[in-house]
Amino acid sequence: MTQVLDLGPRIELVSMDPHFHDISIALYRPGPDNAPAAYKVHTYSHLPGAAERIARVAEAMQILGGMEQTSDDLLGFPCGQAHMFAVKRLFLEACKLPPAQPIEPRPLHIFDKKANTTIAVASLGQGLYEVRATQQAPGAERRVATIARGLIRLGEMEEVSDNPNQVRFGCGYSHDALIGLLLVRAPNVRAAVREAEAMASRGVLSAPSNQE
Ligand SMILES: [Zn+2]
Tell how far the Cα of 72 is from the centroid of ligand 1, in angstroms: 20
| CA nearest to 199, candidates 48, 119, 96 | 96
Question: Treating both helix axes as pointing N-terminal to C-terminal, what angle do 50-65 and 176-185 enclose, rounded to 10 degrees?
Answer: 100
Give the other-Cβ count within 10 Å of 46's Cβ. Answer: 8
Give which of 59, 48, 173, 175 is closest to 108, Cα–Cα.
Answer: 175
Ligand 1: centre distance to CA 64 (Å):
15
C-alpha 88 – ligand 1 centre gap (Å): 14
Q: What average pLDDT does range 156-182 have in this prediction?
A: 95
- Measure 149 CA to ligand 1 centroid, in angstroms: 18
Enumerate residues 6+ apart whose C-beta is below 8 A from 70.
36, 38, 76
CA of 182 to the centre of ligand 1 (A): 14
How many C-beta neighbours within 10 Å does residue 139 have? 14
DSSP string, 179-199: HHHHHHHGGGHHHHHHHHHHH
Cα 137 to ligand 1 centre (Å): 33
Q: Which percentage of the chain shows pLDDT scores above 70?
A: 93
What's the CA-to-centroid distance between 70 and ligand 1, angstroms?
15
For ligand 1, the distance from its centroid to the CA atom of residue 36, given in whole angstroms, is 11
80 alpha carbon – ligand 1 mean position (Å):
7
Q: What single letter denotes the amino acid at residue 123?
A: S
Q: Is the pLDDT of residue 211 over 70?
A: no
Task: Look over the chain and give the mean of its residue pLDDT values, rounded to a whole number.
Answer: 91
Per-residue pLDDT at 212 exceeds 80: no
- Identify the top-confidence range among 158-162, 166-170, 205-209: 166-170
CB atoms within 10 A of CB 32: 6
Q: How confident is the model at residue 122 (pLDDT cuts 50, 70, 90)?
A: very high
Q: How far is the CA of 77 from the centre of ligand 1 (A)?
A: 6
How many other CB atoms are there within 10 angstroms of residue 95's CB atom? 23
Residue 185 CA to residue 190 CA, distance in Å, equals: 9
- One of 3.10.450, 2.60.120, 3.30.1360, 1.20.272 is the CATH number of 109-192, namely 3.30.1360
Instruction: Give the pLDDT confidence of 3-50 residue by residue, as tens digits.
Output: 556 899 999 999 999 999 999 999 999 988 788 999 999 999 999 999
Distance (Å) from CA 49 to ligand 1 centroid: 32
Confidence of residue 149 (pLDDT cuts 50, 70, 90): very high
In the prediction, which pLDDT does 203 show?
65
Total length of the chain: 212
- Please tell me the distance between residue 174's alpha carbon and the centre of ligand 1 in angstroms: 7
Question: Residue 207: pLDDT band by 50, 70, 90 thresholds?
Answer: very low
Burial (CB count within 10 angstroms: exposed 0-12, middle 13-18, buried 19+), residue 111: exposed
**E strand or H helix that includes residue 36:** none
Q: Identify the bridge partners of residue 112 per DSSP, sorted by sequence position.
A: 117
pLDDT for 4 equals: 56
Confidence of residue 170 (pLDDT cuts 50, 70, 90): very high
Q: Residue 65: what pLDDT?
A: 97
pLDDT of residue 3: 54
Q: What is the mean pLDDT of residues 88-112?
A: 95
Domain range annotation of the chain: 10-104, 109-192
